[in-house]
Amino acid sequence: MPYRNAIENLKESVTILLPGLNGGGLELGQLPNFLNANGYETRIPEIQGYLYGSPADTFESWISQVHNTIDVLRGEFKTINLVGISMGSTLALAVASQRIDISSIALLSPVLRYDGWSVPWYRFLLNIAYKIGIRNWEYSEREPFGIKNPDLRRRIRDKFKAHELSEVGAPLITARHLHEAKGLMSYVTKNLDSITSRLLIIQSVEDDTCSIWSAEKILANTKSDLRRTIWLGNSYHIITIDNEREIVLNEVLRFLTRAAGGNIGLENYYSDMSPKPLKARTL
């Protein structure tokens, strides 16, 4: 009986939000506040060696830190959800491949390999350089910065000129960060069949950082009972802040709501839930 009372006293659910590699959370856009305003508690864990402001650490450390966050929240909430953007999606998959207590995962522009149309042809040479010991270099983000919206892209360009953190992360990514990200992508690709959590994938067909190959690979190899995909046609990689951000945020909300209520049949997926408004963005 004491155990039952403890379960009954837990809050219903929490959604852990995972930013992109070397990001600071700005790339999540309005998603945290949007979910909060619609009744969902969220957390953005401080992942040392992954987020902006700390030297790169191993991808195993990134996974471990998210596990630690989940283990703490397990004592407060009945249900744990994960939402990631870009490499944050890949990190979410890695964590979920090692657990059976993740209810739902929303993957926003998941990356299993860097093969988008704006990735420079010589990028593979950077991996070779790292392997032979040339590691004191940084990769500079380049236009279009994962953004199709021209006004927002101009603002990001100005921030990068001033060496500031922007809505797409930092202007530079270290060799170590990229090396560990490559290890994370490889690990996830090999362990997709261990993932059983409900999945939502939102992917732009014009993604400049990764092609639709990553999303299709995830769909084909995970073992989730529910695997839902939303394809976007007017955004690039950072879909949470680009032209179709309203669609993205509402689809994440819809997915979490339907999954929590058990009403996940496709015939009922869009019933009785109209889109929620976003705050106007100041460009």
CB 166 within 8 A of CB 159: yes
Q: For position 3, what pLDDT does the model report?
A: 45
Residue 32 has pLDDT above 60, yes or no: yes
CB 30 within 8 A of CB 279: yes
**Residue found under tokens 């179709």:** 244
Nearest CA to 242 out of 149, 108, 111 is that of: 149
How far is the C-alpha of 226 from the C-alpha of 186, rounded, in Å?
Answer: 24
The answer to whether 127 touches 137, Cβ cutoff 8 Å, is: no
Residue 199 — very low, low, confident or very high, per pLDDT cuts 50/70/90? very high
3-state secondary structure of 230: strand
Name the more confident of 125 and 184: 184
Q: Give every CB contact of residue 174 below 8 A, 6+ residues apart in sequence.
A: 22, 55, 56, 138, 139
pLDDT category, 2, cuts 50, 70, 90? very low
What's the per-residue H, E or C state across 57-98?
CCHHHHHHHHHHHHHHHCCCEEEEEEEEECHHHHHHHHHHCC
Rounded Cα–Cα distance for residues 89 and 262 (Å)? 23
Q: Is 174 helix (H, G, I), strand (E, B) or coil?
A: strand
Between 219 and 275, residue with greater pLDDT: 219
- pLDDT, residue 268, reads 57
The count of other CB atoms within 10 Å of the CB of residue 37 is 14
| pLDDT tens, residue by residue, 175-192 | 999 999 999 999 999 999
